[in-house]
Amino acid sequence: MRAKFAIPLFAALFVLFATFAWGQTTTFSGKKVEVYTTAKNTTLRLSDAGSLQLQPTSQEMNKGNWIFVDPTKTFQSVLGIGGALTDASAETFAKLPEKSQEEFLTAYYNPEKGIGYTLGRTNINSCDFSSDSYTYVANHDSLLKTFSIAHDEKYRIPFIKKIIAATDGNLTLFISPWSPPAWMKSNDDMLHGGKLLPRYRQAWANYFVKFIRAYQAQGIHIWGMTVQNEPLATQIWESCIYTAQDERDFIKNYLGPTLERDGLGSKKIIAWDHNRDLLYYRASVVLNDPQAAKYVWGIGYHWYESWSGGKMMFNNERRVQEAFPNTHLLFTEGCVDRFNFNQVHDWSLGEKYGRSMIHDFNAGTVGWTDWNVLLNEKGGPNHVGNYCFAPIIADTRTGQLIYTNIYYYIGQFSKFVRPGAKRIISSSSSSQLLTTAFINKDGKLAVIVMNPTDTKITYHLWVGGSAAGTASLPHSISTLIVE
């Protein structure tokens, strides 16, 4: 009897499963897809490029180009997307007429009229994108009795407050030091590298607490911090060297315990904050030590490893995710350097961002932080002449804002991929089309498709057994919203 009914029973179960699965996959039939596009040699800039409708498909999928989206496979939740709120950005903003200031705030931080930034980074003490070098304490005041953020009250604090208001209080802000005060360092200099002297490690951990408390007294909530900006770079600007072991020991013996002792244990600590090339090694040294790892929320990284002539090393992000799946990845800085005012409309600027953001999110990052949100017509101010591009350039001679296509490429993500969204599977059958996708908390899918080639590419968007045909313009990026 068992042999007689085994095959029919299996078949019945298979039919039941297939019926259930098909029911699940056909739920997208008839769904509307709104397309928003930014494209070279067109007027399309985050523009409504029309709508599609998903229909059941029986086409052979080995023909043509396909973007396959599977909303049933979810991954990391998105923290946010944004940029750095530096002294340079704040000073440039202050020089703008009020109308341009309002335009800037709307362009970045309004989710309907702008691109809806929700993530920010700002500096502890000065950085290269400050007009001068400064700290918040008098020389050799290891007890920090003279600690004061009066310097920041002129430009940066008012700037950040306006941004917080523009986001209705929904700004996730983290902080990063470029250097401790000179007298705390081995070279007695805020610039040119040097190391934190062992006798000042506790004072430097206390400095973080002082900064957080002072900013929060101004109504600026600090979500988290990186331990040190670019801890392996000896720069002509503010810099400080930490080996992997130095950073591990500072976290577990000083910074982590100090934050907990002072009631700030909920603040997120982010290690590394440097390039992808050494990402796995630096993460492993910290995270393989349980006493350090218990304080670490995530690993931050930059994209400048390509300056050596190689390519961006996205697989190193994946190695960290594979080895430490409960630790978050966060892109903490990226920009295009060697500013030239005559190149503000070069299309390659934005394409570098689009390529990185797609690969970074697909590799597991939870958030993406650009460098300066605003710079002047010289790519500064910057006290060491290290000028670079920003998504928006302010011509302080005229008071006008210039939008590079970086702004639009980032906006194809930040406007449509909101905090709390989860990444889902988006797979391309063509190596020429780059893609990533998310499901927002309201249930809408945001599928991003980038075409960095000189050729228009037709493709089908496939979701749950239904598909719609469309085309990707040369040198374009589109966000397809499935409602």
Q: Tokens 């081995």 — which residue?
A: 186
β-pair partners for 321: none
Token code pair at residue 193: 């590298």
Total residue length of the chain: 483
Pairing of strands 328-333, 476-482: unpaired
Whether 230 is catalytic is yes
Q: CA of 358: how far to CAs of 228, 366, 412, in Å?
A: 26, 12, 11
Contact 49, 37 (CB under 8 A): yes
Handedness of CA 5, 8, 13, 16 (dihedral sign): negative
Q: List, as own/partner pairs, every contact residues 284-290 make where C-beta atoms lie below 8 angstroms and the sequence separation is at least 24, other chains included.
A: 284/323, 284/324, 285/244, 285/245, 285/247, 285/248, 286/244, 286/247, 286/248, 286/251, 287/323, 287/324, 287/327, 289/248, 289/252
CB contact set of 257 (below 8 Å; sequence gap of 6+): none
Can you tell me the distance from the alpha carbon of 197 to that of 185, in angstroms, rounded to the nearest whole number? 5
User: Comparing C-alpha atoms, which of 406, 405, 396, 346 is closest to residue 375?
Assistant: 396
User: Comparing C-alpha atoms, which of 254, 233, 226, 271 is closest to residue 121?
Assistant: 226
Q: Which of 238, 247, 317, 333 is catalytic?
A: 333
Q: Which of 91, 230, 247, 317 is catalytic?
A: 230
Can you tell me the distance from the alpha carbon of 440 to that of 413, in angstroms, rounded to the nearest whole number? 12
What's the per-residue H, E or C state across 339-385? Answer: CCHHHCCCCHHHHHHHHHHHHHHHHCEEEEEEEECEEECCCCCCCCC
Handedness of CA 434, 43, 467, 115 (dihedral sign): positive
Q: List, as own/partner pairs, every contact residues 432-441 make where C-beta atoms lie below 8 angstroms and the sequence separation is at least 24, other chains included.
A: 432/457, 433/65, 433/67, 433/457, 433/459, 433/472, 434/354, 434/355, 434/358, 434/359, 435/67, 435/358, 436/357, 436/358, 436/361, 436/362, 437/69, 438/78, 438/361, 439/71, 439/74, 440/416
Can you tell me the distance from the alpha carbon of 54 to that of 468, in angstroms, rounded to the nearest whole number? 5
Token code pair at residue 301: 């990284």
Q: Which residues are catalytic?
A: 230, 333
